Amino acid sequence: MLTFTLLLWELFKALICGALDSLVHTIQQRTIMLIKNKINTTVCDSPNQAFQLDEDYLIAEQKAEAIGGFITEF
């Protein structure tokens, strides 16, 4: 699940960066770089927090998947 979340973040980041790059004639290049860096450091410094994937959430998700797998086997 974390791998999927990180891949999804890469997609969002590419979309955001593309949108910012299209504003290069409206916003100064330095401002665009500051925005990109802030977005990147906010998420990349702590992807678990950014995507609300703390340890309790991941444990609950594993339990739910285990129960779901058990039910579908029968």
The domains of the chain are located at 2-73
Q: pLDDT at residue 27 above 70?
A: yes
Give the per-residue pLDDT at 50. Answer: 55
**Under a CB-based contact definition with an 8 Å cutoff, are residues 43 and 50 in contact?**
yes
Q: Choose among 37, 32, 34, 5: nearest CA to 19.
A: 32
List pLDDT tens digits, range 42-63: 766 555 555 666 677 667 777 7
pTM: predicted TM-score of the whole model, two decimal places: 0.49
pLDDT category at 11 given cuts 50, 70, 90 is confident
- Rounded to the nearest integer, the mean pLDDT of the chain is 75
Give the per-residue pLDDT at 72. Answer: 47
**Under a CB-based contact definition with an 8 Å cutoff, are residues 31 and 15 in contact?**
no
